[in-house]
Structure 1
Amino acid sequence: MARLILKSPYIKSTGGASGYLRYIATRERVELIPDDRPPTRKQEQLIAKLVKDFPDSKTLYEYEDYLTKPTKVNASAFITLALEANWDAIHESDQYMKYIATRPRAERIGAHGLFGDEETVSLEKSMEELERYTGNVWTHIISLKREDAVRLGFDNAAAWQNLIRAHRNDIAAAMKIPPGDFRWYAAFHDEGEHPHIHLMAWSAKPGQAYLSKEGIRQIKSKLTNDIFRNEMLHLYEQKSESRDELVRQARRAMLELVRTMQDSVCDHPDAERLMLELAAQLGTVKGKKSYGYLPKRLKNLVDEIVDEMERLPAVSKCYDQWLLLQGKVAAYYHDKPQERIPLSQQKEFRQIKNAVIQEAERLRLGEIGFEEKGLNQQDEPEEYRNASYDYWTLRDEIRDESLTMEERGEAVSEMEKLAESGDMYAQYLMGKLWRDGPLLIPNSANARYWFEQAAEQEHIVAQYSLAKLYLSDDVEVRDIRQGMNWLYTAAVNGSSYAMYRLAKELLKGDLIKRNSDAAVEWFTRSAERGNPYAQYMLGKLYLTGKELPCDEERAIHWLTRSAEQGNQYAQYLLNHLEENRPPSAMLAVTRLLHHMSRVFRDNSVPKSRPGGIQIDRKRLKKLQEKRMALGHKLDDHEEQWPNLTM
C-alpha cells in the first residue's frame, strides 16, 4: 500500500493565490475530538457535495478514513483537505468559504508557518509577491499516514523543510522551471491521522511552468525515495527477511515457469492461424519490419497474437509472478495494487512483439528452423577406445565434486602433463577444460591449442570441437575457412554431429555457398548413423516438401526414428499429422514461446534498485558474461538453464 499521496492542483493567475498563501500559513490546527460522535448533518451534506463536485477527492486518505469510520473528526479532516485541494474552484463560493471561516473547535499555532529557501519568511512580502504575479501557481498537497510520519520523523515542519529544500531543483525540473526561476513556499499541517504539507510553487516568469502527469510522478518518486530510503534498502538488502523471502519465492516460481516454457512444445492453433495471417500481410509492408514501423492494423494483429499466447497457463502464471515482483517496489508509489493490464500492453515486454514479427517474417520467407533442444549436451561424446589408465584415473578425479577444488586442480595439472606427453584423449579434455571451465578460467586460445593437438592425431570429436570453436562468435579464434575445413574432416571421418552441422551450413548458406542437394546428402548420412537431429530434419523436409519432394511415408519413418530417441519435436509433428496444420506455423509458435521464456527470464529481477539505482539489461548481461568468464555458471545461485538453440 502506498504511503505518500501527492495532489498537484493549480490556481490560475486570477485565482487569489495570495489568499491561499495566507490561509495555509495561518489556518487553524484542528483539535482532535476525543470521542466517536457521528458527523453533523451539515458535514454529511457538504461531503456529498464535495465528492460530487470534485470526484478526485475520493482518492484522499481522509475520504477512505471517513468511509471506514464516519465520525465528526474524520468528516472534518476530509472536508478541510478536499477544500484545500480544490482552492481555485471554491475560493469564490460562499457556501464553501463559510465553512472554512467557521469550522468548529480549532486552535491557532503561531503567527504563520511558512518556510521556503530563506531562513525566515515574511508572510506580508510573500503575499505582495503573489498579488503582483500574473501566472499560474501550483498548490501541491503532500500527505503521509500518521504512523509513517511518526516512524520516519516527518511529523514536524523542520523535517519537511529539509526535504523540500533538498529536492527543490528536482521539483523545479519536473515543473519545467530553471532552478534560478523557481519560487516556492510551504507550510506543515500536523492534522489528524494524515499530517501533510501545502507546497505552493511557480516560476518567476509567468507562462514558463508546465506540470504533466509524468512530472507529478517524478516529484512523487523523488520524495518517496528520500522519505522511505531505508525501507527501500531493506527490500533489497535482506533487512526485512519476510519481504525478501516473498521476492525470492516469487522469482523462484517465475524461473520454474520459465523452465517449463523453455521445455515445452506449444500447441496453440489459434495463435498459429494469426501468425499465418500476419506472415501474409507482412509481405505488403515496405521498409523496416519492427513493431514501431508497422501500420496500426498490423500492430493490432501483433497485439492479438501476444494476447493469445498469454492464454497459455505457463505464460499467464509467469506474468502474474512478474507483476508480484514489480508490485513490491510499485507499492511505494501507487495508492492501489498494480493493475493487471494485458501482456501486449505491458511496456516492459515490448521485445515480445518484435519476436512475433520476427517469427512471422520467417514464416513468410519460408525459412527452415532447426529445433535442437539439448544438442549442446549431446554432440561431444567422449571416445574411450584405447584411453590409458592414467587418463581414466585423472578424468574421474577432475569430475569428482566430493573432492576439494585444490585436489581437483592438482588432477588438472597432472592431466596437462599427460597431454604434453602426446596423449590425445588428455589433449581433448584439456581443450574442453580451457573452453568451458570451471576448474580453469576459460581461454579460447588455449582451448584451440589443445583441440588442435588432439585433432591432428585423428581424434574425431576433437576435430568437431575445434571446428565449432573456429565457427563461434569468439573474435579471438573465429576463422570460417579453418572451421569449415575441420568440420568437413570430422564429417568424413564419421562424426554424425559434424555431418549434421555441415548439412545445416550447406542448407543455410551463411558461411559457405548454399547447396541444398549436398545438405540433404549429409543429413541422410548423419541420420543413417542414428543422429536424432538429422533424422528429425529429414522427416520435416519430407513432410513440408522443402528441398525434397513431399513424401509422408519417408517423413513418418525418419520422424519416428527421431521420436524413439526422445525428440519431442518429432513426436509433436507425428501426433498432429492428421490435422493438416502447417508444421512451419506450429513450430513458429513454439519458437515464439521460447522467445517469451527468455524475455521473462531477463525480467525476473525487479527493475528498481536501492536509492533509485537501476541496472539495465545490457549491463546485467555484461556482468553475467564476466562471471561466466571467471568460471561461474549463468545463474549458479538459482536453477540451471538448459541450452536451447532454435
Structure 2
Amino acid sequence: MARLILKSPYIKSTGGAAGYLRYIATRERVEILPDDRPPTRKQEQLIAKLVKDFPDTKTLYEYWDYQTKPTKAAASAFITLALESNWDALHQSEQYMKYIATRPRAERLGSHGLFGDSDSVSLEKAMEELEHYTGNVWTHIISLKREDAARLGFDNAMAWRNLIRSHRNEIAAAMKIPPADFRWYAAFHDEGEHPHIHMMAWSAKPGQAYLSKEGIRQIKSKLTNDIFRNEMLHLYEQKTESRDKLVRETRRAMLDLIQSMREGICNHPDAEQLMQKLAAQLETVNGKKTYGYLPKRLKRLVDEIVDEIERLPVVRRCYEQWLMLQGKVDSYYHDKPREQIPLSQQKEFRQIKNAVIREAERLRQGEITFEERDLGQQDEPDQFRNSSYEYWRLQEILREEQMTLEERSEAVCELEKLAKDGDRYAQYLLGKLWRDGPLLIPDGVESRYWFEQAARQGHLVAQYALAKLYLSDDLEVHDTARGVEWLRYAAEGGSSWAMYRLGKELLRGEIMEKDTAGAVDWFTQSAERGNPYAQYILGKLYLIGKEVPHDKEQADLWLTRSANQGNEYAQYLLDYMEEGRSSSAMLAVTRLLHHMSRVFQDNSIPKSRPGGIQIDRKRLKKLREKKIALGHKPDDHEEQWPEMTM
C-alpha cells in the first residue's frame, strides 16, 4: 500500500473552478464523533454508485478503511473525498451533492485556509482570477495516513505550505508549465484518519498545461521523497534490517545471474534465425537504423528477438529478481505491485532493442568481432628472468593481500627507490601501480614515465604496456602514432600479445591503414607462439571466409589449438562447424546476452533510491571504463566486472 496518495483530476474551463477554490478555502467545520455503527443504506447505495461511476476512487485511503471496517464514519469520510475528487463531474449534480452530510474543517491561515506562493493570499482576488480563466485547472488531492502525518510533522497547514513551495517548480515542470507561468493555491484539511491538502494548479496561459501519467508519477515521487526522506534514508542505510536483508539477498542473487550472463555463450537457434531475418530485412531500411525509426514490422521483429532471449533460463531468473528488487522500492510510490510485462516492453531495458539492431547490422555487414574474455588478465605475463632478489621480494609483498596496508605502502616506497636506480623490472611494476592502483592513485602521466623507462631498457612487456597506454582513451597520454610505434616495436621484439594487437588494428583499419594480409601474418606469428586469442581469430577468419579464402582445414587446426587452451568460443565454433549453423549469428546473439547483462547490472540498484546513488553509479561506471581502457585488470568485486570486447 502506497504511503502517499495523489489524485489529479481537473476542472474544465466552463466548470466551477472559482467555486471549488472557495469551497476548499472555507469549508465549514463539522465535528465528526467516532461512530462505529454500520453505514446507512443510503451510504451503501451511494458508495456502490460512486465506485461504479468512478472506479479510480477505490485507490483512496478512505475506501480501504471502509472495506476493512465498514462503519458510518468510514462511509462518510469516503463519500466526502470521493465526491471532491470528481468535482468537475459532480458539482452541478443534485443527485450526488445532497448526500454530502459532513464537512470536516479546513485549517485557516487568517480568514480562510488558502495558501500559495505569497505569504498573504486574497481569496477574492484568487476567485476573480479563476472566474475569468478559460483554461483547465487541475485539482490535486494529496493525502497521508494520520499516523504518518503526525509522526512526520505533516498534520498542519504550515508544513504542507512549505513542502509545496519547495517543490512548486518541479510540480510545474511535471505539468509542462514554465515556472513563471505556474499558478497554484492549496488548503489543508485536517480530516479524520487521512489529513490531506486540496491543491489547484494551472498555467497563466490557457492551453499550455498538460499532465500525463508520468507527470503525476514525478510529482508523487518528489513529494514522497521529501516527506519520507529520513525514513527512506534510514531504510537504505540498513537500519531496517529485515527489509534490507531481502534487498541484499535479492540483489546478490541477481548479480550472480548477471555474472553467468556475462560469461555465457548463447546457444539459442530460434534467436539466431530471427537475427538473420532481421539482418536481411535491414537491407531495405534507409536512413537511421534505430528502433524509433524502424517500420512497425521490424519493430515487432526486434521485440520478438528480445522476448526469445528472455526465454533463456538465466535471463528469465534475472528479470524476475529485478522485478522483485524494484518492487521493494516501488511499494513506496505505487498502490499496486509492478506488473510483470515482457522484457521487450519494460522501459528500463529499452536500450536492448537498439543493441539488437546494431548486432543485426553488424551481422548483415559481416563485421569481424573479437571475443576477448579475460584478455586484460593474461596479456601482461610476469617477467622474472634476470630480475634481482630485491625486486622479487618487493613484488611478493605487493601481491600478498594479507599484508597490512602500511607494509605494502612501505614496499611501494622501496620499489620506487629500486626503479630510480634503474631496475627495469621495478620500473615496469611501478608503472602498473600508477596505472591500476590501488596502492597508488591512478595517474596516466606517471605510468607512462615508468613504462617508458623500462621499455627503453628492452623490457618487452613494458613496451607492450606502453603501447596500450598511448592507444587508450586517457587524454593526458593518448598518442596514436607513438602507440603504434611501440606496438610494432614490441611485436618485432617477440611479444605474441603485441603481435595479436597489431594484427587486430591492421584488420580493423581504424588507427592505421587496413592491411588484411599483414593482419593475418601477425595473427599467424602470434598463434604459432601459442597465443589462444590469435589462434581463435585466425581460425574464425578461415571459417567465415570473407577476409581470407575459406579453409576448413586451417580453421579446424587453429580453433582446435585455441579450444585446447580453454577458449570456449573456439570450442563452440568447432561444434557449429559440425552442425552447419551460422557462427556469426551465434556470436551476435551471444553479444546480445552480454549486453543484456550490462543493462541488468546498470539497473541492479533500484531507480528510486534516494541519496544520490545514480550519480555515484555513473561515476563508478566511468572510472571502471577508464581503468579498463588503461589496461587495468578489474577485480571481481560485484560492482566491477570487466567489460568484454566483442
Could you tell me the TM-score, scaled by structure 2's length? 0.88
Are residues 245 and 627 of structure 1, via their aligned partners in 2, closer, same or farther at CA, if it must alter by over 3 Å? farther
Q: Per the alignment, in what secondary structure is the counterpart of residue 199 of structure 2?
A: strand
- RMSD value, Cα: 3.5
Q: Quick one: which amino acid aligns to residue 27 of structure 2?
A: T
Q: Is the 8 A contact 1:30 1:192 kept in 2?
A: no
Are residues 520 and 136 of structure 1, via their aligned partners in 2, closer, same or farther at CA, if it must alter by over 3 Å? closer
Q: Is the 8 A contact 2:107 2:187 kept in 1?
A: no
Q: Quick one: which amino acid aligns to residue 522 of structure 1?
A: W
Are residues 297 and 155 of structure 1, via their aligned partners in 2, closer, same or farther at CA, if it must alter by over 3 Å? same
Partner residue of 1:448? 448
Q: Is the 8 A contact 1:398 1:412 kept in 2?
A: yes
Cα deviation digits, residues 567-617 of structure 1 (max 9, x gap):
111122223333221001101111121122222223333334537885286
**Where in structure 2 are the equivalents of 1:320-399 lying within 5 Å?**
320-399=320-399
Partner residue of 2:53? 53
Are residues 80 and 473 of structure 1, via their aligned partners in 2, closer, same or farther at CA, if it must alter by over 3 Å? closer
Cα deviation digits, residues 45-66 of structure 1 (max 9, x gap):
2222222222222222222333
Q: Is the 8 A contact 2:105 2:189 kept in 1?
A: no
Partner residue of 2:32? 31
Structure-2 separation of matches of 1:130 and 1:444: 64
Partner residue of 1:513? 513
Of 581-590 and 433-442, deviating more is: 433-442
Are residues 493 and 597 of structure 1, via their aligned partners in 2, closer, same or farther at CA, if it must alter by over 3 Å? same
Q: Is the 8 A contact 2:35 2:71 kept in 1?
A: no
**Where in structure 2 are the equivalents of 1:124-163 lying within 5 Å?**
136-163=136-163
Q: Is the 8 A contact 1:2 1:332 kept in 2?
A: yes
Q: How many residues align?
A: 642
Structure-1 separation of matches of 2:419 and 2:104: 91
**Where in structure 2 are the equivalents of 1:511-590 lying within 5 Å?**
511-590=511-590
Q: Is the 8 A contact 1:440 1:631 kept in 2?
A: no
Q: Is the 8 A contact 2:376 2:633 kept in 1?
A: no
Structure-1 separation of matches of 2:641 and 2:516: 34
Structure-2 separation of matches of 1:408 and 1:333: 48
Q: Per the alignment, in what secondary structure is the counterpart of residue 77 of structure 1?
A: helix
Partner residue of 1:272? 272
Cα deviation digits, residues 518-551 of structure 1 (max 9, x gap):
3223322322222211222222223222333333
Give the superposition deviation at 1:107: 7.7
Q: Is the 8 A contact 1:434 1:444 kept in 2?
A: yes
Residue identity over aligned pairs, in percent, reads 75
Q: Is the 8 A contact 2:435 2:632 kept in 1?
A: no
Q: Per the alignment, in what secondary structure is the counterpart of residue 199 of structure 1?
A: strand
Of 211-220 and 249-258, deviating more is: 211-220
Structure-2 separation of matches of 1:53 and 1:180: 37
Partner residue of 1:610? 610
Q: Is the 8 A contact 1:114 1:185 kept in 2?
A: no
Q: Quick one: which amino acid aligns to residue 413 of structure 1?
A: C
Partner residue of 1:595? 595
Q: Is the 8 A contact 1:471 1:483 kept in 2?
A: yes
Structure-2 separation of matches of 1:379 and 1:631: 9
Partner residue of 1:407? 407
Partner residue of 2:115? 116
Partner residue of 1:313? 313
Partner residue of 1:253? 253
Q: Is the 8 A contact 1:157 1:187 kept in 2?
A: yes
Structure-2 separation of matches of 1:136 and 1:449: 67
Cα deviation digits, residues 78-128 of structure 1 (max 9, x gap):
22222221222223333212212xx38x88799986322466777777667
Partner residue of 1:281? 281
Q: Per the alignment, in what secondary structure is the counterpart of residue 610 of structure 1?
A: coil
Cα deviation digits, residues 343-398 of structure 1 (max 9, x gap):
22333333322222221111111111111111111122223333332332222222
Of 258-267 and 202-211, deviating more is: 202-211
Q: Per the alignment, in what secondary structure is the counterpart of residue 79 of structure 1?
A: helix
Q: Per the alignment, in what secondary structure is the counterpart of residue 188 of structure 1?
A: strand
Q: Does 1:301 align with 2:321?
A: no
Structure-1 separation of matches of 2:107 and 2:509: 84
Q: Per the alignment, in what secondary structure is the counterpart of residue 615 of structure 1?
A: helix
Q: Quick one: which amino acid aligns to residue 565 of structure 1?
A: Q
Are residues 195 and 457 of structure 1, via their aligned partners in 2, closer, same or farther at CA, if it must alter by over 3 Å? closer
Give the superposition deviation at 1:171: 4.3
Structure-2 separation of matches of 1:383 and 1:170: 59
Partner residue of 1:68? 68
Q: Is the 8 A contact 2:104 2:191 kept in 1?
A: no
Q: Quick one: which amino acid aligns to residue 482 of structure 1?
A: R
Q: Is the 8 A contact 1:116 1:165 kept in 2?
A: no
Q: Per the alignment, in what secondary structure is the counterpart of residue 99 of structure 1?
A: coil
Q: Quick one: which amino acid aligns to residue 589 of structure 1?
A: V
Of 356-365 and 230-239, deviating more is: 230-239
Q: Per the alignment, in what secondary structure is the counterpart of residue 5 of structure 1?
A: strand
Q: Per the alignment, in what secondary structure is the counterpart of residue 139 of structure 2?
A: strand
Q: Is the 8 A contact 1:374 1:643 kept in 2?
A: no
Q: Quick one: which amino acid aligns to residue 114 of structure 1?
A: G
Partner residue of 1:292? 292
Structure-2 separation of matches of 1:62 and 1:217: 21
Q: Per the alignment, in what secondary structure is the counterpart of residue 138 of structure 1?
A: strand
Could you tell me the TM-score, scaled by structure 1's length? 0.88
Cα deviation digits, residues 240-285 of structure 1 (max 9, x gap):
3444444433333332222111111111112111111121122222
Structure-2 separation of matches of 1:605 and 1:40: 49
Give the superposition deviation at 1:166: 4.5
Structure-1 separation of matches of 2:454 and 2:611: 54
Structure-1 separation of matches of 2:372 and 2:590: 12
Cα deviation digits, residues 407-447 of structure 1 (max 9, x gap):
22333333334344443333333332333233333333343
Give the superposition deviation at 1:207: 5.5
Structure-2 separation of matches of 1:152 and 1:521: 72
Q: Is the 8 A contact 1:115 1:161 kept in 2?
A: no
Give the superposition deviation at 1:632: 11
Structure-2 separation of matches of 1:607 and 1:121: 38
Partner residue of 2:10? 10
Structure-2 separation of matches of 1:245 and 1:39: 43
Structure-2 separation of matches of 1:181 and 1:375: 57
Q: Is the 8 A contact 2:11 2:88 kept in 1?
A: yes
**Where in structure 2 are the equivalents of 1:144-183 lying within 5 Å?**
144-168=144-168, 170-172=170-172, 174-175=174-175
Q: Is the 8 A contact 1:5 1:60 kept in 2?
A: yes
Q: Quick one: which amino acid aligns to residue 303 of structure 1?
A: D
Give the superposition deviation at 1:214: 4.1
Structure-2 separation of matches of 1:121 and 1:470: 66
Of 158-167 and 332-341, deviating more is: 158-167
Structure-1 separation of matches of 2:453 and 2:179: 68
Structure-2 separation of matches of 1:78 and 1:581: 65
Partner residue of 2:424? 424
Q: Per the alignment, in what secondary structure is the counterpart of residue 261 of structure 1?
A: helix
Of 106-115 and 500-509, deviating more is: 106-115
Partner residue of 2:193? 193
Name structure 1 gaps, 5 residues minimum: none
Q: Quick one: which amino acid aligns to residue 116 of structure 1?
A: F
Cα deviation digits, residues 12-55 of structure 1 (max 9, x gap):
344344544454433554625443x4333322222222222222
Of 529-538 and 444-453, deviating more is: 444-453
Are residues 67 and 474 of structure 1, via their aligned partners in 2, closer, same or farther at CA, if it must alter by over 3 Å? same
Are residues 230 and 406 of structure 1, via their aligned partners in 2, closer, same or farther at CA, if it must alter by over 3 Å? closer
Q: Per the alignment, in what secondary structure is the counterpart of residue 98 of structure 2?
A: helix
Structure-2 separation of matches of 1:93 and 1:272: 62
